[in-house]
Amino acid sequence: MDSKRTNRRELLKGGAALAGGVTLGELAASQAQAHDHPMTPGSENASPMILGSKELVEYGQRSRYVTSVRIQHPPGGRPSPDLFGKVFHVASPLQDSVGVITPSSLHYVATTRGSYMPDIDPKLHTLTIHGLVDQPLTLTMDDLKRFPSVTRLHFIECAGNRHTPQQKTVQETHGMTSCAEWTGVPLSTLLKECGLKGSATWFVAEGAEEVKGASSMPISKAMDDCLIAYGMNGEALRPQQGFPVRIIPPGFEGIFHTKYLRRIKVVDRYYMNYNDFGHLRPDPKELALSEQIGPKSVITYPSGGQQLPGRGFYEISGLAWSGGGAIRTVEVSTDGGKKWNLAELKTTPQRMAHVRFGYPWTWDGNATEILSRATDEIGQVQALREQIAQWWNVPVERNYRVPGLDNSVMPWKIAKDGGVTNGLA
């Protein structure tokens, strides 16, 4: 009976404390101190978070034992942020990824020439669609969210995602791609609402950055699968990903995925914009490669900088994607490309999205080289660098710069001691 009264009194004390303005975190901390909760073994020098702390209750944090972080890209290049506080490019830690969705906080970031990230009040932001339309529209964020929404999984990849002999880890070679769940309104829905004129063949998507991000794309792409996205991985876009709204043209190079979207102009010809000018190729033959990514794949485990503890069974794991559609197959070689083996696709392949693959492998302890190559649903096959060199009639070398968008096969060398290094080096 006494214990019941005590429990009831403690409960009432807790309720009174909350009513008096004491936070859940403060209450949990005081209770923990009162009951002398033991610390986690090995955490004597740490500052453990209380289960009901403000940090965990309001917006959960990951375990302090999980240390994956993004890094500046390219390594040794322009710092992010720089001396002026501008963030340029930061790469996702693919070596620690599982599944296919990149957490919003680990998604790679690329900016328009390092411009400042705008601080946009969504209540004041508008998206205007004008040009060769019957009825121009200016939509608030509330207006946009009244339209029927869709949710799709898509990757984004920067053209700067190029692997070279100097890079050491998969984060350095391929970290400028990520895959997320995007929610928004199909651009085709909005254009149908406006009504397209017969002469409409292109559109320009413009952002609200300090240095205006803008790109020209065919109107056929807009009517096919472009998404005006305001959601990412089940929540609002993060500011680094274009809050409050951005465009997702699935499968196109990252520069076309305009963030902080404020204007879409429908036009009758290709318009040269700042983004487009910055991505001109010196060789006219390369221009055909400037939109669609892939097909592409990379082994994330084992990969550069990792260590195999000894001979025996391992599951080789990696990611594959293509701007040409869904991935159909992934093959893995464990002998430097002499023999290719069909890998298992761990998830159902989706159009213009990462898919994880796995291949069971028993390592005999000898030095070898592992590679992966992907084939997409329209029959495109990922090529070796040597094959691409032959197509372009240049010296067959593994360390040459692949023209256009680099989707060549990435090799990893495994030494007898289990160390994994860049196979291009």
| CATH top class, domain 104-280 | alpha beta
Check whether domain 296-422 has CATH 3.20.20.70, yes or no: no
Mean pLDDT by 10 residues, the chain (425 residues): 44 38 36 36 53 81 92 80 74 96 95 78 98 98 98 95 94 97 98 97 91 84 98 96 97 92 95 66 53 90 98 98 97 97 97 98 98 97 90 76 87 98 95
Give pLDDT, residue 275.
64
Rounded to whole angstroms, the Cα distance separating 87 from 363 reads 42
Give the pLDDT confidence score for residue 13 in this predicted structure. 41
User: For position 180, what pLDDT does the model report?
Assistant: 98
Q: Note the pLDDT of residue 403.
A: 77
Q: Which residues contact 15 (CB under 8 A, 6 or more apart)?
A: none
Question: What are the angstrom distances between the C-alpha of 230 and each of 93, 350, 371?
Answer: 24, 21, 37
Residue ranges per structural domain of the chain: 2-58, 104-280, 296-422
Token pair 């609402």 in the structure block, residue: 193
Answer for the pair 108, 176: CB distance below 8 angstroms, yes or no: yes
Give the model's pLDDT for residue 14: 39
Radius of gyration of the chain (CA): 25
* Cβ-contact 352, 334 below 8 angstroms: no
